[in-house]
Amino acid sequence: MKNTEDLGTWYGQIQSSRGNIIVIRDEQLPPANKGRMYLYNTDRDAVVEYDEAIVTPKLVELSEEDKQQVKAKHTKAWEAARKQFIRAHTKTSSTTSTRKTESSLDLLPTDDDDTSDDDDDE
């Protein structure tokens, strides 16, 4: 596989004894753990985490003609999977932040907590 640092989106296939799988790599996805990489697997219709040391030697870039065919066939599914993946991987930090905010709000007094009796002043 060629260096994908400057390419943004890379189209290729994993060649293995079980057969070839078309994959897409997008540098805009959140980074994987060290030694791992995320690839959109067209057979699974999902972004899958792979061991970089195992999969990198098996990756082969598609020809321009094949790349255009893959784009035509898989772009909608790929974009939907990417959105879902990004949402799922950014949800953890925003959920934690939301929970902290909500628990802090629980400590603030509300109108129901008002212990003064304004009606008794008559």
In terms of DSSP H, where are the helices of the chain?
Answer: 52-55, 64-106
Going by the DSSP 8-state scheme, the letter that residue 111 receives in this structure is G
Read off the pLDDT of each residue in 56-83 and give the average, rounded to a whole number. Answer: 96
pLDDT surpassing 70 at residue 78: yes
Query: At which residue do the structure tokens 């004894």 appear?
Result: 17
Segment 16-50, tens digit of pLDDT? 999 999 999 998 898 999 999 999 999 999 999 99
φ/ψ bin of 45: left (φ > 0), alpha (ψ from -120 to 50), beta (otherwise): left
3-state helix, strand, coil in the chain (%, to 5): 45, 25, 30
Query: At which residue do the structure tokens 């959140």 appear?
Result: 30
Q: Which residues contact 28 (CB under 8 A, 6 or more apart)?
A: 8, 9, 82
Q: Are 42 and 70 in contact (CB under 8 A)?
A: yes
